[in-house]
Amino acid sequence: MDGGKRQGRLTDLGRKMVEFPLDPTLSKMLIVSEGMGCSDEILTIVSMLSVPESDHLSFLNVYLQWRLHKYSMKWCNDNFIHGKAMRKVREVRAQLKDIMEERKIEVISCGTEWDIIRKCICSAYFHNAARFVYSVEVNRL
């Protein structure tokens, strides 16, 4: 993941990652997102994923719709969304955004460039990637 120790010391990425109260994969995704120009969207996705029972782009879309409806609890109820969980996501997002700003990680939106967001997610979950070989074998990368 490149955040680990080298000769007993954390890498620059590792030092940034430990600042976030997150799983290492999620903190790496958040940090990498700045360079990919999608940190605003990844900030929301990571916030959603840090709350139990939370699915990447689906969660982003739910959050964006909730924000569009001014964080309405009625909207949550009307759409069968757990309002308390959404409030917690909003709190987590604000906390993570504060940490990003303190660490000088720019919050950048890529709009609806879903491929950029998918690439950022994949960059953080690379350890789960596999390569299809022929029609019957799967090799871990």
The Cα–Cα gap between 46 and 54 comes to: 10
CATH number for the domain harbouring residue 78: 1.20.120.1080
Assessment of whether the complete model's pTM goes beyond 0.75:
no
Task: Write out the residue range of the structural domain in which residue 56 sits.
Answer: 5-140
Return the structure tokens found at 90.
Answer: 């909003």
For the chain, how big is the Rg over CA atoms in Å? 17
Name the residue among 70, 21, 68 with its Cα closest to residue 46. 21
Asked if 93 and 22 touch (Cβ cutoff 8 Å), the reply is no
Return the structure tokens found at 92.
Answer: 């987590």
Count the domains in the chain.
1
User: What DSSP line would sit under the chain, residue for residue?
Assistant: ---SEETTEE-HHHHHHTTSSS-HHHHHHHHHHHHHT-HHHHHHHHHHHTSTT--HHHHHHHHHHHHHTTT-HHHHHHTT--HHHHHHHHHHHHHHHHHHHHTT------TT-HHHHHHHHHHHSGGG-EEEETTTEEEE-
The predicted-structure confidence for 93-119, as pLDDT tens digits, reads as follows 999 999 999 999 999 999 988 889 988
Give the chain's mean pLDDT: 87
- Please give the pLDDT value at position 30: 94
The predicted-structure confidence for 16-40, as pLDDT tens digits, reads as follows 999 999 989 999 999 999 999 999 9
- Please give the pLDDT value at position 38: 96
- Please give the pLDDT value at position 121: 86
Return the structure tokens found at 40.
Answer: 């605003």
| pLDDT class of 1 with cuts at 50, 70, 90 | very low
| pLDDT class of 72 with cuts at 50, 70, 90 | very high
| pLDDT class of 132 with cuts at 50, 70, 90 | low
The CA angle 116-119-120, to the nearest 5 degrees, is 90
